[in-house]
Structure 1
Amino acid sequence: MFPSFESIYPNLGPVLEVAQEARAEAKRKITRNIMIILIMWAVSVGVMFITQNSSIGGTLIFIAFLSTFLFIGLSVRAAKEFRSTYSHKIVGALVTAMFENIEAPENEPEYEASVKFIPNKRIGASRVSTSGIAPRFDKIKGEDYISGRLGATTFEFSEIELIDIDYKKDNNGNRKKVEKRVFKGIMFIADFHKDFDGETYLIDKKFFDSERFLLKFQGAFEIEMEDIAFNKAFRTMTTDDIEARYVLSSNLMERIMEFENQSKDEVELSFKNSKMFIMHKSRKNHFEGKLFENNDEETLKQIYTDFRTYFDIVEEFRLNRRIWSKS
């Protein structure tokens, strides 16, 4: 249904040129800043050594010290500008090309596929909280918001960072705010606009599943699925045993296992109300280019693979006639 990466990559030529220019410009700025820092330190140390005047030499070294921080800051900003350009231009063009070249199912003449990319937006905190699989948090950050439609299903996802805030007293008895990051990665939400009777949660067994205890208080209980490998990877919690088995078809479990196997980090899902939530923990920023590597094709292919993973799971679930006929 979605076009292959190889078929749309050639169409990204113009925006790839923009990325290359942005990369070259960032490298020029960083190289210039490094050279200025080295020259200032060389001059400062040289003057101090030649004149044997500690006052003049000390002043120059102090100026060089302050300038080092200034030019390091300018270099960091240049790198951020490149990553921002890459995210805004390249990622937007990639996901747009995927949807412009999508093939609608033959048996769905009114099938609609659309997508929108807003780099400086994120998924709302209330949406994250209602998933039932998010850790407790007090603050949320995020960017690279993508939303759209596949048939009657709407979706949205973005990079998010969840932060828990605590207050502790130091040795002097002063109250100090402590921020701890409890999640960094992708939050994906698909709304099928058809309510479920129950709620089903997939908790990754690779990590300590504190959610299990909270879910039990909410009426969920643990069940075993027929797929042994799936049971080894996920703890399945649900409020409706029968519906959970309709929801988790063999094809959907296979898709989820493919996702789990290709990811080294935590993957958890929930199905509640009319929505499917996916939380994919990751140490990296998914949609940023690499400043000192020119292999944009490999970077884009990985981003494309991430997109396809989410969209394929949505399509597999959307086409699950058993769960919708039951509803």
Structure 2
Amino acid sequence: MRIIHYAVAVAAAVTLFMPAAALAETTDVMQPSAHPVKLRTALRELSVTYTYQGEERTLDDFLTRTKTNGFLALDGQDVVAERYTGANRDTRFQSWSMAKSFTATAVGIALKEKHIGSIDDSVDKYLPELKDSGYAGVSIRDLLHMSSGIDWNEATDAPRLMAAANKGYSISKMAALQKRGWEPGSRFEYTSMNSFVLARLVTKTTGMPYYDYVERKIWQPASMESTATVGNDSHGDSLGYCCYYATDRDFARFGLLYLHGGKAKGHQVVPASWVKASTKPSSVNPNYGLHWWLGGDGGDFMAVGLGGQYIYVSPEQGVVIVKSSIAGSAVDQEEAIVAFRAVAAEVARTRG
């Protein structure tokens, strides 16, 4: 199995280590739940080794090499491993493209609430400003599968998109200028603009700002503990493709939500059918679902962000893992899933 995170290609062109305020000049705040999901600190010794490219490696070495600043593992609601370097439990880490999984979740809830008729509808049915763009006639499903057909190169266009957002340009207007490059639904092409359009879709169909909808339908119902911020373009549009700033424990709660089939504290926050669909391979990429990266036969899946940000979920082992980096590192997604599987297996093995 080969997993490629296309967004990591922008690492050569984007300055990863700018202050948070410079990465997203304006942000919106999401308030937490008054009754957060309790995560019990129950640390235990985990001896994790794995084989990658014919070499035996350790978890400690992997975390060091990939400049990891935050790492935790959940066994259900028990925090069995947690460590920070140059950060702490209250640090708000930049999600980068892990935000895409939140955006897809918001789309799924909007669908359930009938704000959206079907994900097979054309996106310009709801966003008429896209009728003269490359998005005309493109289904919401194709956007979710990263198969929109617009002429886009993530390595060069994503940095320009980020720079435009930082300078206060309207990303919605930029979306309306996108051109068709190939037949929608015919192949996979990782495209951050697709995720922005989906976030804009949430805003337009629900009549609520994207961040407000996420707060009311995901952040609070999933019982998050801390405030989080979401970057916007200063024109009222949340970016949707990046720029959630949240604690690792709250990122872990999002993973826990998906581990539990969309439920938090017994309440169905995300439709179970959407969780299932999101983690099912698409026809254009067996390792990608609806804005989630898939592990293959093991049934595990991940939200992945530039520079080494992960929310990993193993339904088989009942484990959630979060890894965050401030400084970022080289591409490590293929090794990461091997390491995470080893951690999940060790958590299961040491379960009392």
Is the shorter-chain TM-score for this pair beyond 0.5, marking a shared fold?
no
Higher helix share: 1
Greater radius of gyration (CA): 1
TM range (shorter): under 0.3
TM-score (norm 2): 0.25
Task: Indicate the structure whose relative CO is greater, using CA pairs within 8 Å and at least 6 residues apart.
Answer: 2
Higher strand share: 1
TM-score (norm 1): 0.26
